[in-house]
Amino acid sequence: MIVLDLIFFIVALTMTGVAALLFFYMLYLESVIKQHKRRIAELERHCNSIVQLLAENESKFEDKHSEIFIEEELIEEEIWPETIDDERMR
């Protein structure tokens, strides 16, 4: 009887140890999840700021590109008459 009681006691202590280990592992996983959620929120904020910066730079680029395109058209319009005049003189 004493041996059987001792075996039950050892099994109970082992199960208690496993339950405690699982409990602390669960607490650890919850803290990791909270850290991941904080990191995801930080990355989303950073992503939003990058998207906003990209939109600003795209609009600046489009403005510059349209200015350059307009200047190129004006230069081409000015060059054609000179080219035609040069060909007539030959």
More confident residue, 35 or 88: 35
Structure tokens at 2: 């004493």
Record the pTM. Answer: 0.56
Task: Give Cα separations from 54 to 10, 62, 67, 78 (angstroms).
Answer: 64, 12, 20, 36
| Dihedral Cα 7, 11, 13, 14, nearest 10 deg | 140
Give tens-digit pLDDT for 32-63: 999 999 999 999 999 999 999 999 998 888 87
pLDDT at 88: 56
